Amino acid sequence: MSTPIDVWLLTGYLGAGKTTMLNNLLGAEMFKGKRVALVINEFGQLGIDGALVRPGEWTKFELNKGSLFCACIKVDTVKVLRQIAFDIKPDVVIIEATGLSESADLEALFASSAIEDLLNVRANICLVDPVTFTKVCAFVPCVTRQVQQADGIVINKCDLSDEASLKTLTATLTQINPRAAITMTSFADIPNDWLAGLTHASGQCGISSGPPAQAVSVSIQSAKPINQRKFMAALSELKGSILRLKGNIDFGDGSIMVEYAGGELTQGEAIKNLRPPTAFVVIAWGVNRDELAEKLSRP
């Protein structure tokens, strides 16, 4: 293969808006008419984000056993990337990494002999939620390291923050990574000229052995309705520990989409292609996995 395939990497903490940005990129001017391969990486096992990707002619791969760049799924990741390079042969690859990924690991992965010269990192874009970032960066180190490794930083959800807070956050992010281009937006709507101007700079790295030790992920599936009162009580009890909750829940009147991020709970139309009626993933910090599952799935 003479010309490496360009790879766009989307990183950022849980709930920052990566899937929304992915969908925006798929409709962006610079990707129109191009054959695109997608790699969706989730910490949970149900493929929630993959189900939210807009329909199209792109080829989609899902890796849901851990962080894309850690040793725990390195073999699977390399296998998928080689399949993309040799069999799919797209014009571009877009990778959405899990919110708990160590994106510093990507340099070692793409420099490995198995995929070296097949793929070329075009840019590493890190999305930042201005409300959540300052709450979690102190106790979830990978959040800061995602910013450190980025070529471009997108401060998303600016409609939910005031000007003074955004100014302070911008100064903080610039201190963490002075070389990265920063843009502000809402709903992950990124200017095409900003994207086109990004260039990738390699960093120091190594493959990590796994996700943060205190992070746990539980996939809950049930054909029976969940008791809404008990669910809300458990959510209130666990809110200091829950990093992200996303998926469909049937409270007795059919499935609805439920999402919890940054301390806020939202509900909406059920995500298609998720079965059974209740199917959601919850990621938490410093709690027992079995206890977490039991409290959030009471009938």
At 89-116, the pLDDT tens digits run 999 999 998 888 877 666 677 777 677 7
Query: Concatenated DSSP letters for 188-203?
Result: T---HHHHHT------
Q: Where are the alpha helices (DSSP H) in 55-213?
A: 74-83, 106-111, 133-136, 141-148, 163-176, 192-196
Fold type of domain 5-196:
Rossmann fold (3.40.50)
Q: Where in the chain is the domain with CATH 3.40.50.300?
A: 5-196
**Looking at the predicted structure, is the pLDDT value of residue 43 above 70?**
no
Q: Which of 249, 234, 236 is nearest to 293 (CA)?
A: 234
Return the beta strands (E) in the chain as ranges. Answer: 5-12, 36-41, 59-63, 92-96, 119-128, 152-155, 181-184, 215-222, 242-250, 255-261, 264-268, 278-285
Q: Dig out the tokens for 241 from the structure.
A: 């520990």
Which residues of the chain form CATH 3.30.1220.10?
Answer: 215-296
What's at 227, amino acid-wise? Answer: N
Instruction: Give 215-296's CATH code, choosing from 3.40.605.10, 3.10.20.440, 3.30.460.80, 3.30.1220.10.
Output: 3.30.1220.10
Q: 99: helix, coil or strand?
A: coil
Q: What is the rounded average pLDDT of the residues 137-150?
A: 84
Mean pLDDT for the stretch of residues 127-136: 87
Q: The pTM is what?
A: 0.74
pLDDT band with cut points at 50, 70 and 90 for residue 212? low
- Highest average pLDDT, of 27-31, 182-186, 270-274, 279-283, comes from 182-186
pLDDT band at 272 (very low <50, low <70, confident <90, very high): confident
Residues listed for the chain: 299
Q: Is residue 99 a contact partner of residue 142, using CB atoms and an 8 Å limit?
A: no
When mean pLDDT is compared across 100-104, 183-187, 255-259, 295-299, the lowest value belongs to 100-104
Amino acid at 55: P
